[in-house]
Structure 1
Amino acid sequence: MEAENFLASGFGTRLSIESKSSGWCRLYEKARTWQPSRLKGIQVSANFGTPFLAATQVFDVRPVPRKWLSLNRTSDYAERFVDQGTILVTCSGSVGRSTLAYSSIGGVLVSHDLLRIAAIDPRWRGWVYAYLRAPSVRGMMMAAQYGHIIKHLEIHHLDALPLIEPSTTNTLDECNKAFKQVIARRNAAQVKMAQAESAFQENFEEATEQYDEASFVRRASDCLFGNRRRFDAWSHNPQKVEIETQLRAGAVVWTSLREANCDVWLPNRFKRVPAEDGVALIDSSQIFEINPDYARRISASGISDKNNGYVKPGWLMMSRSGQVYGLLGSVVIATAQHEGKLVSDDVIRIATNGTIAPGYLYVAMSHPGLGRPRTKSLAYGSSIPHIEVEDLKDFSVPRLAPEVEKRIAVLAEEAFALWSEADEAENLLAEIAEVEIERFLRGKGRTEQ
């Protein structure tokens, strides 16, 4: 009974489709939609539990579990694993956002806050996904949502969604081809990144000493006369010290970003002036997501900074604020998907200027065991930790033989290129579906090809 639903543009689109006597059906006739029951799992340590991902984490380029659940104490746990190729749709909060399951969430428990959809006929799976990605269909889903504070979408809402038939049979084949490309490229990217990290780690021996996370002792002189007089314990933690000892033993040279003449900077803060015909704004969390929704557009006229708030492919971007268990200190390589869009002033830019291959620097900074613990140790602050640009400039990078660095860099950069290509294929699917919807609403019938 919410009035806003009947005033939404998606509601008008739905009425227009349903007014047609033929050429469409209900989604449940072509696809099955289901959802696990509300989760009541028991959280345990990583050594004994099964990794769990919340709804928003599934959209991360590289999902990192933060919780592990006891499988024996998790009801209907088999339904919480997701098969590759399953369509996932957000059903609460920002409803209607769709993505595909691929190897990154294999063997992982996935939140019940994602609806699962699978085409009944495999020939239709590409078209069903393309249709759900179309902006007009996202509008229809948002017009069907309910709730005052947190919006929700139920299974029966999607089952009743009008699904138009593509104008030609070739469209089904084209969509299936792009559907397979999205999954294949993201799977290939995961493999290449794992190979890059393995190639980096094999140059260093395993740590032999155990460190105590509960307590440790450091001399006051270490804080007063080095490390920019950092007195916070996080920057002196034993894990970081042990990792750096391990890296020094295997590195050919040990150099900081400052010594390597890398440009490291943070743009000046700029006003977010809304503008419908403005430039898409990428916030600090979206740079880590698969094909994010760039819903915000702002005016770029008042921004005066190095490169005017934009980034170039090959630059590294780091989230400078957040929580140490979250995205703080995480790094990505800018791709073609980021060009022409404004990137948040809360994202640190790193331009290597050819002194270090971007792919190698990415692996050195983000490796789960040898890189990321070190970047997180740069953070300061209790409520919302931050990373300072000057601290990052002094971040030391272990340099290896040129041929080794090149091999690692190529693998990492190819991985990001594949992720970018997958996004392009996914956007193509949405464009195909949107064109088909417009054609259908104009009264153009189906033709056999």
Structure 2
Amino acid sequence: MALRARLSAPKELQSDWPFHHAKWTAISSSIMWGGDRRMEAENYLSGGYGIRLAMDARTSGRGRLADFARVWQPSRLKGIQVSPSYGTPFLAATQVFDMRPAPRKWLSLERTDNVADRMVSSGQILVTCSGSVGRATLAHKPHEGMLISHDLLRVDPIDEAHRGWVYAFLRSPQGRAMMGAVQYGHIIKHLEVPHVGGLPLPLPREQILADFNARTRRILELRIEAHEKARKAEEKFKSLFPSLKEPRSSHLGFEVSASTLFGTRRRLDASCFVPTVDAIEDAFAADAARVEPLHKLVVKAFAPGRFKHIYGDGGMPYLDSADILEVNPDITKFVLSLSSEEQKEYHVEPGWILIPCSGQVYGNVGHAVLSTEYHVGKVLTNHILRVAPNNKIRSGYLQCVLGHPQLGRPRVVRFAFGSSVPEIAAVDVLTAPIPRFSKKVEDELADLMESSAVARDQADELEQELATEAELLIDAFMEGDTERFVSDVVEPKLRLVGLPSGRAEGDLSYETVDAINAAHAPAGEVTVHSSL
């Protein structure tokens, strides 16, 4: 059998026992008879399990998440896909975290059950429960009116005074660690409603709750503001081209002259010559004061070379192309393999336009993001094209032109080449025509786009502060702090936290599950309340 080439040398064969060191510990067998009767070692060896034991050891000042919020999940969706003109937009779980959620599927509303349960409202707390589980976010304006995947748990506080604290708790390192400790599944991890509903939740005093609520509302306001300003700028930009006509569908086929095919890049792929882009550029020529190629408006446009990815603690934060398109992305990788001098090639400056240049044309590739202070001091992947504008054009206006969903991105995506993983070259993007208008018009659009980016950054920063403060409060609670937490939390009442009908798993709350398990525990053993 042939051996394929490897990027690195294989590990040396070990001859001395032990070949490796297993992570293990001994626990009482009675622990496995509580909750879900979990047999996976990783659930008991994780840090989240230890955090949960420490919180359960506190006999006052806490309850269960299900006592303060309704945790629920829509039934599994079997959607019937239809064309955009007939369907309702659908968002998968990961798309909900995008700065600009763009639906890729449209479903028939008449063939979709429990439609109301699949919609969300601004401020609703959503938690991923399949794949990368335990990630929480707030639904806001762009999510309204769309069908949202059942792979997101809905968390609705019973008392609005608890909303901010519940959200901060779910985003805290301890909350996420405890959710990670109760996940199940081999390849694809899952969380169920009772898993999240059964998490121990300390309850701070009213003044602290009010502070968390106010800051959560501010996060929501900033996200909505960022979305509305960007939308307003894009609508105004589109209104500047009254001559724009809707071309006939490229799916029916179209013709181009031979001289066009063999002009500059000699492209033979039809996607490079779609009539939609020609119609857009004709409107630019007809309605703009003038049109200039991008290369005259930038200092440079480049994608840095590849580097060896070695990650570890103490390295520089690393952002992938998907991260720059998300709301407050999780930074989980830190680069160790680049020296301080080498890192400079992968850094960016505020005001640059960042364009993912490798990926799928229906996904990340071709979107335009305005870099801000958030991106400074981080290593950005070589799969992001950097465009540095000169003093002839404002960054916000250039982002509006290149990133517009109807008039900008299609003109960038047309340059993609390759089959499995399409790429976009800087030399192609530099030929893109940029419509120019009066300074007043361009400044108005630039102000909207730049203030939108600032509002988005402020929301992310405030959200990170919220999680950090929740982390400190939870640490204080586990250390025995009683001043900042109520001491008379109402004991959990037996009530259904359960799952919607049609689920294979049961419809019982964590209290009922524990009661049943206790009744069936082996004789002579003590059942303890443990991870679900």
1:211-230 paired onto structure 2 within 5 Å: 211-213=248-250, 214-226=252-264, 228-230=265-267
Q: Which amino acid aligns with 1:266?
A: A
1:333 aligned partner: 370
Does the alignment pair 1:163 with 2:197?
A: no
Report whether the alignment pairs 1:32 with 2:78: no
**1:29, CA displacement in angstroms?**
0.6
Structure 2 distance, partners of 1:147, 1:291, is 27
Deviations 1:120-172, CA, capped at 9 Å, x for gaps: 11111000000100011100000010111110000000111000122x43211
Match of 2:458 among 416, 421, 434: 421
- Matched residue SS, 1:337: helix
Contact 1:92 1:153 in 2 (8 A): yes
Specify whether residues 388 and 287 from structure 1 end up closer, same or farther in structure 2 by C-alpha distance, changes over 3 A only: same
Q: 2:191 aligns with which of 139, 150, 153?
A: 153
Please list the CA deviations of residues 14-49 of structure 1 after superposition, one character each: whole Å capped at 9, or x if unmatched. Answer: 000001111111101111101000001111111111
- 2:384 aligned with 1:350, yes or no? no
Letter in 1 for 2:282: T
CA distance in 2, matches of 1:261, 1:159: 52
Deviation string, structure 1 residues 375-430 (Cα, Å, up to 9, x no partner) = 11111112221101111111221111111000000001111111111111111110
Structure 2 SS opposite 1:43: coil
Query: Counterparts of 1:11 and 1:210 in 2: how far apart (Å)?
Result: 58
Q: Is the 8 A contact 2:95 2:102 kept in 1?
A: yes
Residue pairs, 1:8-407, within 5 angstroms: 8-166=46-204, 168-208=205-245, 210-213=247-250, 214-226=252-264, 228-299=265-336, 301-302=338-339, 307-407=344-444
Q: What is the distance in 1 between the residues matched to 2:170 and 2:67?
A: 15
> 2: distance between equivalents of 1:300 and 1:180?
40
- For residues 259-311 of structure 1, the C-alpha deviation after alignment (integer angstroms, 9 at most, x for no partner) is 22431011111111112111111101110000010011121534755833111
TM-score (norm 1): 0.97
How many corresponding residue pairs?
447
- What is the deviation of 1:368? 1.8
Give yes or no for contact 1:315–1:358 (8 Å, CA) kept in 2: yes
Contact between 1:124 and 1:176, CA under 8 Å: does it hold in 2? yes
In structure 1, C-alpha distance between the alignment counterparts of 2:176 and 2:376, rounded to whole Å: 25
Query: Structure 2: which amino acid aligns with 1:109?
Result: L
User: Shift of residue 208 of structure 1?
Assistant: 3.2
SS in 2 for 1:73: coil
* 1:235-281 deviation line (CA, Å, top 9, x unaligned): 11111111110111111121112122431011111111112111111
CA contact (8 A) 1:303 1:309 kept: no
- Conserved? CA contact 2:119–2:145, under 8 Å: yes
- Read off the aligned partner of 1:211 and give its amino acid letter: R
Q: C-alpha displacement at 1:209, in angstroms?
A: 5.6
Partner residue of 2:499?
none
In 1, Cα distance between equivalents of 2:322 and 2:141: 22
- Evaluate the alpha carbon distance shift between residue 427 and residue 306 of structure 1 in structure 2; reply closer, same or farther with a 3 A threshold: closer
| Alpha-carbon distance between aligned partners in 2 of 1:209 and 1:311, rounded to the nearest angstrom | 37
Amino acid in the other structure paired with 1:378: F
Give CA-to-partner distance per residue, 1:37-70, whole Å, 9 cap, x none: 0001111111111110000000000100111111
* Higher Rg of the two aligned structures: 2
- Which whole-Å CA distance do the structure 2 matches of 1:448 and 1:268 have between them? 52
Distance 1:210 1:309, change over 3 A: closer
Q: What is the TM-score when the length of structure 2 is the normalising length?
A: 0.82
Q: Percent identity?
A: 44
Unaligned runs of 5+ residues in structure 2 are 1-38, 487-532
Q: Does the CA-based 8 Å contact 2:121-2:144 persist in structure 1?
A: yes
Q: CA 1:88–1:448 in structure 2 vs 1: closer, same or farther (change >3 Å)?
A: closer
Secondary structure at 1:258's aligned position in 2? helix
1:231/1:303 CA distance change after superposition, 3 Å: farther
Q: Does 1:437 align with 2:467?
A: no
